[in-house]
Structure 1
Amino acid sequence: MTSDDLDKRAELAVWPDAELVQRRQAQEFATLREALCAAVDALHDPEARPWIVTEAGDILSPHWIRAHRDMAQRH
């Protein structure tokens, strides 16, 4: 993941629980950095499972988001 990738569009969906089929409606963000900030915030809820789809089509799992939370620096 490059810094250019962080400036591209992304979509965040937060699943309320790993076993539930329904999910909250996906939210679009102008940048991946903004989506990461929102995903990190969602991780405060132990039942939340945030997933991000990048403009390039990469799917970032809750595990990836936790491991890379430092990339979600707010500007």
Structure 2
Amino acid sequence: MMQSDLDRPAELTIWPGSAPARVAALHSFPTLRAALAAAAAAIDAEDANPWIITEGGDILAPGWIRANSASARLQSRAVNR
């Protein structure tokens, strides 16, 4: 994935984290940045399992999103101090 992919559209699917998954919520975002932010918020608020598909066809799994959104949150906290 390239840095420029962050500014391209992405699809976010949110599966429930603790309940049996019967229905998933699908959301379209104008940028991958926005999809990542929404996925991180869903993890924090809902114990969800988000999956993102980028316009370029990359599939970002819940583990990847958790690992990368956690580092982004840590970086933003360090900058805001």
TM-score, length basis structure 2: 0.75
Superimposed CA distance per residue, residues 10-69 of structure 1 (whole angstroms, 9 cap, x where no aligned partner):
000110037734232310000000000000001114631011011011110110001111
Structure 1 match to 2:12: 12
**Preserved CA contact (<8 Å) 1:18 1:49:** no
Aligned-residue Cα RMSD (Å) equals: 2.1
Q: Which moved more, 1:13-22 or 1:24-33?
A: 13-22
Q: Alignment partner of 1:23: what SS? A: coil
After TM superposition, list the pairs within 5 Å mapping 1:40-55 onto structure 2: 40-45=40-45, 47-55=47-55
Residue identity over aligned pairs, in percent, reads 46
Amino acid of the residue matched to residue 59 of structure 1? Answer: I
Q: Alignment partner of 1:12: what SS? A: strand
After TM superposition, list the pairs within 5 Å mapping 1:60-71 onto structure 2: 60-69=60-69, 70=72
TM-score, length basis structure 1: 0.81
Task: Give the distance between the partners of 1:13 and 1:66, measured in 2 at CA.
Answer: 14
Give 1 or 2: higher helix fraction.
Answer: 2
Larger radius of gyration: 2
Task: Give the distance between the partners of 2:17 and 2:43, measured in 1 at CA.
Answer: 12
The alignment covers a number of residue pairs equal to 72
Structure 1 residue ranges without an equivalent (≥5): none
